[in-house]
Copies of this chain bind each other. A is one copy, B any other.
Amino acid sequence: MTTYYPTVNKVEFEGRTSTNPFAYRYYNPDQVVLGKTMKEHLPFAIAYWHTMIQDGTDPFGGVTNKRTWFGNSEIETAKNRVEAFFEILSKLQVSYFCFHDVDIAPQGNSLEEFFNNLDVITDLIKEKMDETGIKCLWNTANMFSHARFNNGAASSNNAEVFALAAAQVKKGLDIAKKLNAENYVFWGGREGYETLLNTDLAFEQDNIARLFKMAISYGEEIGHKPQFLIEPKPKEPSKHQYDFDAATTMAFIQKYGLEGDFKLNLEANHATLAGHTFEHELCVARSYNALGSIDANQGDLLLGWDTDEFPTNVYDVTLAMYEILENGGLGKGGINFDSKVRRSSHEMEDLLLAHIAGIDTFARGLLNAAKIKEESFLSDIKEERYATYKTGIGRSILEGKEDLKSLTEYALEHDDVELASSHIEYVKSLLNDYIYSDHSNTIKVQPIRK
């Protein structure tokens, strides 16, 4: 049997003192945290595009990545990639994967040929799934790379492009059924505009909603309606993308009555490009009961484009995992590494090393967030901070018993309110003990002597 990593064994948990680069130092799949195993808390997925396709090119430079799966034909390469992909998944003990249609199979010279190629490769993938028990977290159709999608897919000015997009979505749903994917993602990289001068924004969004409703119907028809996920991103490649961020996407979902079927797939780097922290986006989604799944990576806040770095920022991941714990987990969703190795990490081994780094970072984040939760560190702060809403006038407001007149009466007699200090610097210093340590000695907020 072919192996692409002959010298690397299955990556196992070896603990913090291991000096083996191909071991987990924090991720221990079977370790129980807050009543569930790490493996249950962290349904990791690997992204086909970054891991199998990405070659290191950037807008100013050519291929750098060295890959050993190129064959004598496109289809042979595609098949080799499936082998290699499942080897990587298996060796990393990752249970899920995600892909675009164009990642896995050559597009050929016609749509028909493309669909045939998809059938061939998904047969092979299904075989590997059965063999390994690895599952498909979600699939999607790439409706942004082909020249025809230059002005959008569902939002294209050209109706024929809409039809072509619809065909790819249908095929995507057929594949979702075949591979039993529980989610189906829409990322609208070209569903936006280059310039408003020639764009009918409302018409284009109507059309996107049309396609989404067709997808819901078709899912119902074939008896496999996955959880649909929209992945917001503010800009890039388009000047503006309609699914700018979580809140924008919720405005769209509500406008078109898609709440029942659509949730959000949120990405850390997309959050920061939109001017938000990742935990903010997660929190907004939660407030709409729409947190579906996440794309794990990190950006560089000093850069204005999507860098899709492997997540190694333990601090940020801790706060994200805290939101996920508060959400009761991700339901059908998972944690997909939409991350690519830096251009200088061009060896085959880097694909493993980078995922190990990301997985250990999430394991650390989970452990930190669990500790914060276990000790009610943040929840106690909030409990106290909003205490005035539990009794008296606060309670009465929440119970709907007040109006502007009654509150004015109250206010005229109580206009000397003083807010308590947040002691936020102290809180952040204590929070550091949960994040920058081994948890042997975390400390809860102490009352400040007066």
Tell me if B198 and A422 are in contact (CB < 8 A).
yes
Interface flags, A285-305, vs B, CB<8A=1, else 0: 011100000000000111111
A145 within 8 A of B: yes
CB distance from A238 to the nearest CB of B (A): 9
A385 in contact with B157 (CB, 8 Å): yes
Considering the complex, which residues of chain A in the window 146-161 have a beta carbon less than 8 Å from any beta carbon of chain B? Answer: 146-151, 156-161
A235 within 8 A of B: yes
Q: Would A167 and B305 count as touching, CB distance under 8 A?
A: no
Residues of B close to A91: CB separation below 8 A? none
Contacts of A1 in B (CB 8 A): none
A8 within 8 A of B: yes
Contact status A240-B276, CB under 8 Å: yes
Bound together, the chains give a CA A429 to CA B58 distance in angstroms of 24
> Residues of B contacting A126 with CB < 8 Å?
none
Q: Which of A338-390 contact B (CB under 8 A)?
A: 341-347, 349-350, 353-354, 356-358, 360-361, 364, 378, 381-382, 385-386, 388-389
A353 to B448, CA, bound (A): 9
Q: A148-B419, A425-B341 are in contact. Are A411 and B287 (CB under 8 A)?
A: no
A441 in the interface, Cβ–Cβ < 8 Å?
yes
Contact of A198 with B381 in the complex, beta carbons under 8 Å: yes
Q: What distance in Å separates the Cβ of A308 from its nearest Cβ neighbour in chain B?
A: 10
Q: Known contacts being A254-B251, A305-B236, is A198 close to B424, with CB within 8 Å?
A: yes
A8 contacts across to B, CB distance below 8 A:
449
Closest Cβ–Cβ distance, residue A392 to chain B (whole Å): 7
**B residues near A394, Cβ cutoff 8 Å:** 159-160, 162
A residues contacting the other copy or chain, number (CB 8 A)? 172
Whether A56 lies near B147 (C-beta < 8 A) is: yes
Q: Could you tell me if A421 and B61 are in contact, using CB atoms closer than 8 angstroms?
A: no
Do B197 and A431 touch across chains, with their CB atoms under 8 A apart? yes
A78 on interface, CB distance cutoff 8 Å: no
Q: A273 → chain B, closest Cβ, in Å?
A: 8
Please name the residue on chain B nearest to A364 by beta carbon. Answer: B436
* A30 vs chain B, min Cβ distance (A): 21
Task: Evaluate whether A159 and B421 lie within 8 angstroms (CB atoms) in the complex, with A280-B240, A405-B218, A411-B166 already known.
Answer: no
Give bound CA distance, A218 to B402, whole Å: 12
Contacts A60-B189, A145-B60, A247-B251 given; does A342 touch B194 at CB 8 Å: yes
Question: By the criterion CB–CB under 8 Å, are B424 and A344 in contact?
Answer: yes
5 of the cross-chain contacts (CB-CB < 8 Å) are: A19-B446, A60-B190, A111-B415, A196-B283, A345-B424
A sample of 20 more A-B contacts (CB under 8 A), given A150-B419, A157-B388, is: A19-B443, A59-B306, A150-B346, A162-B393, A162-B407, A167-B404, A170-B405, A196-B283, A197-B428, A217-B404, A234-B275, A235-B302, A239-B303, A247-B251, A250-B251, A251-B288, A304-B304, A342-B422, A345-B422, A357-B425
